[in-house]
Amino acid sequence: MLINNIQYQYFTLNKIKMKEELLSKLSECTELGKINLASPFPPQLKGQNGVDELTREALDSGISPEEVLEALVSGMGVIGDKFSAGKAFVPNMLMAAKAMSAGMAHLKPFFNSGQVKRKGTFVIGTVFGDLHDIGKNLVAMTVEGAGWEVIDLGVDVKPEKFVEVIAQYPDCVVGLSALLTTTMNNMEVVLKAIKEKFPEKIVIIGGAPLSQEFSDKIGATGYSSSPQGAVNLLNQLVA
For residue 28, give the CATH number of its domain. Answer: 1.10.1240.10
Last residue of a domain, one of 113, 146, 171: 113
Q: Residues 153-168: what's their mean pLDDT?
A: 98
Q: Determine which of 38-42, 46-50, 55-59, 108-112 has the lowest per-residue pLDDT on average.
A: 108-112
Q: Please say which residue of 113, 138, 153 terminates a domain.
A: 113
Question: Domain with 206 in it: what CATH number?
Answer: 3.40.50.280
- Regarding whether 83 and 31 lie in a shared domain, the answer is yes
Are 226 and 126 part of one and the same domain?
Answer: yes
- Tens digit of each residue's pLDDT (9 = 90 or more) over 100-147: 989 999 998 988 888 888 889 999 999 999 999 988 998 998 898 888
Structural domains in the chain (count) = 2
Strand 173-177 and strand 203-206: pairing?
Answer: parallel
> Do 139 and 213 belong to one domain?
yes
142 and 211 assigned to the same domain: yes
- Predicted pLDDT of residue 10: 47
pLDDT attached to residue 80: 87
At 7-23, the pLDDT tens digits run 545 455 566 788 999 99
Whether residue 105 sits in one domain with residue 76: yes
Distance CA 85, CA 168 (A): 36
For residue 3, pLDDT beyond 60? no
Mean of the per-residue pLDDT values of the chain: 90
**7 half-sphere exposure, CB direction, 13 A CA radius:** 4
Task: Give dist(CA 113, CA 16) in Å, integer.
Answer: 27
pLDDT the model gives residue 2: 46
Q: Find the domain containing 220 and state its range.
A: 121-237
